[in-house]
Amino acid sequence: MRSSHKFILLILSTISLISLVTESRKTIPSEGKKRELEKLLNHINKPAIKSFQSKHGYILDCIDIHKQLAFDHPLLKNHSIQLKPTTIPKWTRDNDTSQQSTSLPFRQEEDIICPPGTVIIKRTTLEDLIQFQRLESLGFKPTSKDRNDDPPGHYTAVAQYYALNFGGMGNINVWDPQVEPDQYSLSSIYVQGGLKEDFESISSGWIVILTSSYAPTTLVKSVLSFYPKQTNKKGCYNTLCPGFVQVSRKFSLGTVVRPVSRYGGKQYHLEISIYQDALTKDWWYVLKGEPVGYWPNPLFSYSGLAEGADNVWWGGEVFSAGKDRISPIMGSGFVPQDDFGKAAYINGLRVIDHVRKLIIPPAKDLVVYASSPTCYNVKTISRRGAYWSRAIFYGGPAGCTVR
C-alpha cells in the first residue's frame, strides 16, 4: 500500500499531466508525455480478470474487489469491505400507474455481469483524463450553499431541503440537451454538509459534455462525484481517484446512459438514492435498487458528512465559459410546466430525516431556487402516487448571456 505522500504526488501528477494535454485540443501529446500518461493510466487501471467491449466503444473491466483503486487512498489502508449495506431504507414504490407506465427506469443495455469476487469498472482512457481536466476548468463542483460562490456562466434550478438528514433519493429524468464546447448540462441529486471551510458533498446524476477533438460526440454520462475534505478541495468524479468503494458486478460508473427521453414520447429516469448506513456511517450509492458502492466514513469530517448531512438538493445545472456566450439547454429545454413528457422532472423525492425516518419532504420545507429564472426555473408539484406525491419540473431553453 502506498504512503500518503505518494498518494498526494499521484493526484498532483494527474492534474499536471492532463493539464499539459488540454492546453490545446488539437495538440497531440509528445511521445514522452504519452509514456507518462500511459504510466498513470496503468496505475489507475488495475489488472482485469475479465473484460467486455461495450457497444458504445469503451471497455468494462472485472477487477478483483480487493485491488480496486479505492484502496490506494491512505485513509482506507486497513479498510474492511462492506459487500452490502447493513441498513436499507424502504423507499416507497409508486402505486399510481397513470404516468408510471410511460416513465421507465434506466435499463442496462449491456447484458454484462462480472464474476463473483470482482467488481465492474469502466477502463479509464486518455479521453477520460482530458474530460476530467475540462470539467475542472469549467468549474464543475458541488453547488454550494453560498450562492455567491457561483462563477459567471453557472446557472442552477433546484429544490432544496435544509435540515439534518441521512440521505435522499429521486428519479432523475434523462435527456440529451445540446451543448457546445466549453459547456455542460447536468441533472443530479446532492447530499451536502458543513460550512464553507469544511464543506463536503456527494452527488450522482447525468451530465452532457462534448468530448475532446479525439472523439467529437455528445455523451450523456452517468456521474458520481464527491468532495471530501481529506481528498482535495477540488473533488473527484467517477473512479478517477481513490475513495469510492465499488461493490456492484453489474453497474459501472461513468458509462453512457441510454435510452434518453423524448419530448412527448417515452420518458426515462435514473432511480438514485444516496444514504448513510446507520451502523457503519458509510455513505451508500444505490442505482435502480442495486447497491453500487459506498464512500467510507473515514473520508469525511465531523463537521461535514461524517454524522449526517445538512441539506439535500435536486435539480439541474448548466455552465458556459467565456463572456457574452449563450448558455446551453437545461433538462429538456422547456420551461417547467405541469406537463409530463415536456419539461424535465425529478420525482419520488424522499429524505431520511433527523430520526432516520423515511419521509416525503413536506412542501413547506422544500425551497425552490433558480439563479436566473428568466432562463431556467423550477416548480414543485404534488399528485397522487408515491412517485408524484413530491416532485419537481425544472429547466429551460438556451438563452442566458454570460456577463
Q: What is the mean pLDDT of residues 252-274?
A: 91
In a domain, 6, yes or no: no
Helices 126-137, 31-44: crossing angle, 10 deg rounding: 90
CA–CA distance, 118 with 51 (Å, rounded to integer): 11
CB 367 within 8 A of CB 378: no
pLDDT classification of 180: cutoffs 50, 70, 90: confident
* pLDDT at position 339: 77
Q: Is the pLDDT of residue 205 over 50?
A: yes
- Average pLDDT in the 374-378 region? 93
Render 285-300 in DSSP notation, one character per residue: EEETTEEEEEE-GGGS
- The pLDDT assigned to 26 comes to 40
- How much is the pLDDT for 101? 37
19 in a structural domain: no
Residue with the larger pLDDT of the pair 362 and 216: 362
d(CA 299, CA 279) in angstroms, rounded, equals 16
pLDDT > 60? residue 283: yes
Query: How far, CA to CA in Å, does 81 sit from each of 77, 84, 296, 301?
Result: 11, 9, 9, 20
Alpha-carbon distance 311 to 173, whole Å?
21
In a domain, 403, yes or no: no
Helix (H), strand (E) at residue 21: helix 4-22
Residue 249 lies in a domain: yes
Establish if 29 belongs to a structural domain: no
CA distance 120 to 251: 7
Note the pLDDT of residue 73.
Answer: 87
- Please indicate, yes or no, whether the overall pTM of this predicted structure exceeds 0.85: yes
Q: Cβ–Cβ contacts within 10 Å for residue 295, how many?
A: 23
Q: Which residue spans within 25-123 are E strands per DSSP?
A: 48-53, 59-64, 103-105, 118-122
Kind of pairing between the strands at 267-276 and 245-246: unpaired
pLDDT at 96: 43
For 119-162, how does the pLDDT look when each residue is reduced to its tens digit (9 = 90+)? Answer: 999 999 887 877 777 777 666 666 655 555 667 888 999 999 99
- Distance, CA of 136 to CA of 269 (rounded, Å): 26
Closest by Cα among 106, 60, 129, 125 to 204: 106
Residues of the domain holding 294: 47-395
Q: Which three cell numbers stand for residue 16?
A: 499536471
Does the residue 283 lie in any domain?
yes
Ramachandran quadrant class, 314 (left: phi over 0; alpha: psi -120 to 50; beta: rest): beta
Sign of CA dihedral 152, 154, 155, 158: negative
Q: Average pLDDT over the chain, rounded to whole?
A: 81
Position 5 confidence tier, pLDDT thresholds 50, 70, 90? very low
More confident: 326 or 135 = 326
Domains held by the chain: number:
1
Helix (H, G, I), strand (E, B) or coil at 387: coil
SS (H, E, C) 340-356: CCCCEEEEEEEEECCCC
Which has more confidence, 142 or 327?
327
Q: Name the grid cell of 284.
A: 451508500
* Among 2-11, 102-111, 120-129, 362-371, the range of highest mean pLDDT: 362-371
In-domain check, residue 7? no
CA neighbor of 267 nearest in space, from 400, 128, 171: 171
CA separation (Å) from 361 to 7, 103, 146, 331, 352? 40, 22, 22, 23, 9
Q: Which residue has the higher pLDDT, 20 or 2?
A: 2
For the segment 23-44, the average pLDDT, to the nearest whole number, is 67
Q: Which range is least confidently modeled, 131-135, 276-280, 328-332?
A: 131-135
Q: Does residue 369 fall inside a structural domain?
A: yes
Residue 7 has pLDDT above 80, yes or no: no
**244-254 confidence digits (pLDDT tens):** 999 999 999 88
Question: Which residue reads 482506507 in cell numbers?
Answer: 76
pLDDT at residue 4 is higher than 70: no
Q: What is the pLDDT of residue 274?
A: 96
Whole-number pLDDT of residue 181: 81
pLDDT in tens, 230-248: 545 567 778 777 789 999 9
Q: What is the pLDDT of residue 278?
A: 95
Mean pLDDT of 261-275: 93
**In terms of residues, how long is the chain?**
403
What tens digit of pLDDT does each residue of 63-119 get? 999 999 999 888 888 899 999 999 888 764 444 434 443 455 655 556 789 999 999
What is the average pLDDT across 28-39? 71
